Amino acid sequence: MARGRKVDAAALAEIRRTLLAWFDRACRDLPWRRTNDPYAIWVSEVMLQQTRVATVIPYYERFLAALPDIRALAAADEDTLHRLWQGLGYYRRVALLRRGAREVVERFGGTLPRTLADLRSIPGLGAYTAGAVGSIAFGLPVSAVDGNVIRVFARWLDDKRSLEDIRTYLQSGEADRWVDPERPGDWNQALMELGATICTPRAPRCDECPVAGFCRAREKGTQLLRPAKAKAARHVELAVTVLVFREGNRVWLERRPAQGLLAGLWGFPVVENEGKSDGESEGEGREVLRYTHVFTHRTWKASVREVSAPPPRDAQGKWVPLPELSDEPIPTAFQPVVRFLCEPRLL
């Protein structure tokens, strides 16, 4: 099974049989595996991108209770979406999810289409999500290549290429060739389950792997080298000032720009203190709090300043009474400020 060598039909049939038998007896009982509703499966796949299963479950259940179908999602307003997604992170996902829902309503009458080409034409449904929804909900014999699947294949094949190079190779048609034609959705889920629970990045449990006998990396002892590690993205540390404009018992919130970090979300005004250390925060008013918040590729070293002056005249935002502040859909990056302001001594 080395790179460049094809697996013969008999070996492939045995791998499919073995992996699916393991999945049937060992798969986790997850709420999105108890439904055939394409919309619910779509929502789960979007939520699971870059987020742990245990974190997703309560968000998934709450989201579907509030927005039970595509038409409800398409009609949802910004604040409802942000409130349902608050704390889940990567907010662009839910914006694309609603945009896709609106297109499904407009072009397909509110029902997800059943062909891969049509699924791929919907905003937010890339190769992975379209493959997952198509195979799980509609039984299309197509692959769904995520990070777990890439890692499994990299080890099966002992492929020395980077994760992105292997992704390109698998999405070029190689992963489709492996899909079980009778159970494509279960095949894709079995691969993901194997990668999430057994063939893990740092401590693969090879002795428990149902398909260890087919793994070239295990045979050669190169599991921890596959896939090859990509060069880490540069992490930026920024000193910022978070401004709390206060007028009596209420504070000012502004909606962030439609593009960029925390796009379109409600929060407190932020000033990046370019060229200054985290001890040199800008802004008038008194400093009331300091905290650190870590994003994927940047860290905020935040100084929170309470300002008694009104916000700038051209500022776009709203005044919120302090007792209602914790009910606002404010992202995690500002929650230390919310908690501080909502302490009883400040009300």
> Is 45 part of the annotated catalytic residue set?
yes
**CA distance linking residue 94 with residue 81, whole number of Å:** 7
What phi and psi values does residue 211 have, to the nearest 5 degrees? -115, 25
Task: List the catalytic residue out of 45, 193, 254, 306.
Answer: 45
Residue-wise over 46-63: b if at least 16 C-beta within 10 A, else e?
Answer: bbbeeeeeeebeebbeeb
Rounded Cα distance, 65 and 76, in Å: 13
Give the whole-angstrom CA distance, residue 85 versus residue 94: 7
44 vs 9: CA distance, rounded Å: 33
The β-bridge partners of 293 are: 300
Pair 81, 46: CB distance under 8 Å: no
Query: Could you tell me if 285 and 306 are in contact, meaning their C-beta atoms sit under 8 angstroms apart?
Result: yes
Query: What are the DSSP calls for 171-204, one per residue?
Result: IIIIHHHHS-SS-HHHHHHHHHHHHHHTS-SSS-
Give Rg (Cα) of the chain: 24
Positions marked active-site:
45
